[in-house]
Chain A
Amino acid sequence: MNMVEIESIVKQYVEVLNQRISQKWAEVDQGIFTERNISVNYLSDSESIEVKLEYGGMGAFIIEYGSGSAMVTHTADTLGSYGNPAYSHYIGSETFNTDRLSKGNAFLGREQGGTVYTPTGARYQSTGRMKGINLEKHSNPYKPQLPMHIIETEIIHWKDELGQALDKAIKESIEISILGAFMGDI
């Protein structure tokens, strides 16, 4: 079995993985968490194949790691699986309202003129009327989204499937080679 055949199997399974993730995103996005994208890059040589999967966008981030007070604050280093690898980057970015840190990351109203970043990627200027108020407890609340870990869960199960598929393909290839040898092919 050569690397081209292995790459073909891997590509089939990557395609399937991303279809599953896209399908599940669409089930839960509520028409709000729609800013998301997937990028796939393959690097292969005669001995190995490397697949780089990148999932990005505000919608993907919120669905995966939650938002507001429900956002995962542990990083992948401290929590291992299901940790939030972008947490440090996010709270250090200009999109994050640092006043939230002392309020358990709950959504807070911004000062007048402060930029409000919406989950759809749109932004607008705050009137300042709700400055410092916990919007999650407000009568018309900004609901925090619990983390769904769709990408990580799908990949955990998918890795087993891919491993089994490669094992099966390699086994079949060896069996065919052995059979061919007995029949005088080599």
Chain B
Amino acid sequence: MKHSVELKSELFLLFKQDKAIRELLGITALSTVEEINKKIKRVLGSDDLVDETTPLFFVYAFIPSVSNTKNYKVNQFTLEFRIYGRLQSKIDKLYLAIKDCLYQNYEDMTIFSEGSISTGNQNLYAYMFRTRPLVRS
């Protein structure tokens, strides 16, 4: 079991190596770190949503939450994923790819909440889902 910050980094490595996610996001062997960071974001800045140069990207981050265990060694916090894109069909495919990647690698990443969200931009759609992974206290 890892700390939340370690899990975040581990997930980044997993996502950028996942074949289906790479294909959907257009990540190739030639992609630079900056380019990958624009497509797999660990934090969302206020300018990101109006960035029209990236047609599909997702952001994941631990968001404020209440721990759900009483075990002093283990916590369960909320990890939120938000997928943004110009095409709803691509968002759906990326959602399935991320979900597959999570389910193949973790037993504690079941989705407990999900749904469409508004982006505040025309022709930019978004879908959000949340998991509650076990992390070290």
Contact = CB atoms under 8 A, between A and B. Distances in A.
B63 A20 contact: yes
Contacts of B45: 27
B31 interface: no
Interface in A123-155: 145-149, 153
Contact of B119 (A23, A30, A148, A168): A148
A13 B66 contact: yes
Interface residues of A, number: 28
B68 A28 contact: no
A147 B121 CA distance: 9
B63 A26 contact: no
Nearest to A66: B120
By CB atoms of chain A within 10 A, which of B49, B64, B121 has the most?
B64
Summarize A's interface: helix, strand, loop or mixed: helix
Contacts of A161: 65, 112-113
A31 B46 contact: yes
Interface string B58-85: 0000011110100000000000000000
A27 B68 contact: no
A27 B118 contact: no
B122 A146 contact: yes
A79 B104 CA distance: 40
Contact of A30 (B44, B46, B64): B46
A89 interface: no
Given A16-B64, A16-B66, A160-B113, A153 B118 contact: yes
A17 to B, nearest CB: 8
B66 A12 contact: yes
A58 to B, nearest CB: 16
Nearest to A158: B113
B117 A153 contact: yes
Contacts of B119: 146, 148
A168 to B, nearest CB: 8
A9 B66 CA distance: 9
A50 interface: no
Nearest to B61: A23
B39 interface: no
A27 B64 contact: no
A128 B121 CA distance: 30
A175 interface: no
B117 A27 contact: no
A157 interface: yes
Contacts of A145: 120
